Chains A and B, each alone.
Chain A
Amino acid sequence: MSPVLAVSDLHVRFGAAHVVNGAGFSVAAGETLALLGESGSGKSVTARAVMGLVRPPRGQVTAGTVLLHGRDLLTLPEEELRKLRGTTISMVFQDALSALNPVLSVGYQIAELFRVHRGMTRKEARRAATDVLGQVRIPDAKRRADDYPHQFSGGMRQRVGIALAIALRPEVIIADEPTTALDVTVQAQILRLLGEIQREHGTALVLITHDMGVVADVADRVAVMYAGRVVEQATAAEVYAAPRHPYTEALLGAIPRPQLRGRRLSVIPGSPPDLSAPDPGCRFRPRCRYAGDGCTRAPVEHDLGDGRHTACHEWERVGSA
């Protein structure tokens, strides 16, 4: 299946810091790709760069391509990009409150999308907005459309954020930690909702998260990020059963599991690298149990077949130690 969105060799700098260093991944229609990483791995910046939200003077995309149906978003003029945002590619933020205007009712804000992009009249747009709020299972949508963002609870607010993202039926949704601030029972509801919408419309979903449980629960494929690069890409089942990158292996060892009770969890020694002084070799080398002399060179991406990739010189030894 040909990908809807294909990102390759993306580089982003914030001043001296090389925050994203050659990140690449792709996602097909109807597929959920989890972009998994710890804080500082560059996963959120990658998403913002894809959306065209990284702009000078603060940050700069220095290289790479972001192909949406074969068109490179990074070379499109801002005017064109604005037309695509929301209609073809949209984003759900961790905190919907920061994505919403506090002084406008949520119904108005969703209706605005329909008026601007679809040329609907106020009345039509208003009805369409109420429909979308219903689709994200907000009870009593017609009345709640008049409410302001602060009048919604955390879970309901996140539903509003999803409503904004799906209103114009985009082909790609990028969700940046959409459930991180929510309680588990509410998180489960939101993840189920995202899954249902995706299946219904065949949307490609890029789910950015640090939560290995969430990844195991909903992702079809996983791209693991470390120090601004995707170090491993595979199906969720493969990643959990047999990781092919030392960092993925170490992460999996660090989550508590019932059978590990009474034993110490495995930890990753050292700390994440300093992004302002990038190491020309493998960034994970100082913390890696498999590191050898060859790791002073930057690893190439090994294609292991079936869409499985790893950026590790020693990938064949992973799992042996």
Chain B
Amino acid sequence: MSETVLRVTDLVKHFPVRRGPMRRTVGVLKAVDGVSLDLRAGETLGIVGESGCGKSTLARMLTAHERPTSGTVEVLGRPLHQLRGGELRRARRHVQLIFQDPSGSLDPRMTVSASVREPYDVNPDLAPRGDVDRRVRELLEVVGLNPDHGGRYPHQLSGGQRQRVGIARALALRPEVLVCDEPVSALDVSVQAQIVNLLERLRDEFGLAYVFIAHDLGVVRHLADRVAVMYLGRIVETGSQDRVYEHAAHPYTRALHAAAPAPDPALRGTGGDLLEGEPPSPIDPPRGCAFHPRCPIAVDRCAGQVPKPVELSPGHLAFCHLAADRAGV
């Protein structure tokens, strides 16, 4: 068993909802509401879910861009959110965030080289000054950019190239973990394939562990060793990739599979029943199991009690009252 690089325990993020001229707090948006997970070195954990399920807020807490309301994130055994100042900065290096839209994270007035060099300027102990130029060139090469891309500005690059710059910047800090928040969602299919291949190659070369967040089930399946499915701030099912895809136990996971169009006309209409309605607001989410108002198999107790995890096979958990009964089927 390899070492655990990232351990998340009961992570919660609540945002106050303010209204009116006095900005009074009128409610609580439960973006992330008790998430626990762990990630071992070199492993890829896929996180899937629809908009509003809290996957991006989770990503921001894992990378210390956001402070949790409660719960802990441990990076290499150190609790990230109790650290301050220089210690926090050093711990942050281990976990880096890749954004969906790299143009939002790149300074439009900085050349590609300057963007990739910035982490070295901020962290002078990372490399001796004389070494930085060489490192920047190496990083550009690692992510598949030419040396002459280094002199360009973000607007002169394609979406795929910008994403490569974002990855190069993250790699400069020699992280153990990359948290990728929808890294390929905005890209065309052919460009998406290039970035997916790049992420796989980097994993093999540098032994990186990934938290790979996406709404595209196909891409997650391609990359992930383990998958966690989120709904309204909570994980509803988690397990190895083949368990979650081939033996989904939670009705929401099944509904996601049914709704995802397979790239094969021969499979048309084989998906199963579709869900009605849309995910409810994370402000005042439903009581009990948050999925029960949309659930095709809900029973009375689903509205009253928060479901406890049911272990269907080692490491395969479903947070559903009925999962144990259905597992035998």
Contacts and interface: CB of A to CB of B under 8 A. Distances in A.
Interface of A: 38-39, 153-156, 183-189, 191-192, 210-214, 216-219, 236-237, 240, 250-258, 260-261, 264-268, 271
Interface stretch (B65-73, B108-116, B124-132, B254-262): B254-262
B189 A264 contact: no
A188 B274 contact: yes
Contacts of A211: 261
Nearest to B258: A188
Given A38-B189, A214-B261, A254-B192, A185 B267 contact: no
A216 B222 contact: no
Nearest to A258: B221
A278 B256 CA distance: 43
A213 B262 contact: yes
B260 A184 contact: yes
Contacts of B274: 185, 188-189, 192
A119 B260 CA distance: 43
Interface of B: 50-51, 158, 188-190, 192-194, 196-197, 200, 215, 217-219, 221-222, 241, 245, 255-256, 258-268, 271, 274-276, 278-279
B259 A188 contact: yes
A191 B258 CA distance: 13
B268 A216 contact: yes
Nearest to B219: A256
Contacts of A210: 188-189
A184 B193 contact: no
A155 B196 contact: no
B51 A38 contact: no
Contacts of B258: 188
B264 A251 contact: no
6 contacts: A156-B278, A184-B50, A210-B189, A216-B262, A218-B261, A256-B193
Given A217-B268, A267-B197, A255 B189 contact: yes
Contacts, number: 114
Contact of A237 (B221, B259, B266): B266
A213 B279 contact: no
A153 B278 contact: yes
Contacts of A267: 190, 193-194, 197
Give 10 closest A-B pairs by Cβ, nearest first: A213-B261, A256-B222, A188-B259, A254-B193, A217-B261, A183-B50, A265-B193, A38-B188, A268-B190, A236-B265
A207 to B, nearest CB: 12
B190 A185 contact: no
Nearest to B275: A185
Contacts of A251: 189-190
A250 B191 CA distance: 12
Contacts of B261: 187-188, 191, 211, 213-214, 216-218
B50 A185 contact: yes
Contacts of A271: 158
Contact of A257 (B200, B218, B275): B218
A156 B279 CA distance: 12
B256 A39 contact: no
Nearest to B160: A271
A212 B256 CA distance: 17
Contacts of B265: 216-217, 219, 236-237, 240
A184 B219 CA distance: 14
B188 A185 contact: no
Contacts of A191: 261
B12 to A, nearest CB: 24
A255 to B, nearest CB: 5
A213 B218 contact: yes
A254 B190 contact: yes
Given A39-B188, A210-B189, A267-B190, A184 B215 contact: yes
B9 to A, nearest CB: 29
Nearest to A240: B265
Nearest to B281: A153
A254 B263 CA distance: 11
A222 to B, nearest CB: 9
A184 B257 CA distance: 9
A156 B278 CA distance: 9
Given A153-B278, A256-B219, A267-B190, A185 B196 contact: no
A212 B188 CA distance: 11
A212 B193 CA distance: 13
B196 A256 contact: yes
B50 A265 contact: no
Contacts of B271: 188
A155 B278 contact: yes
A184 B218 contact: no
A185 B259 contact: yes
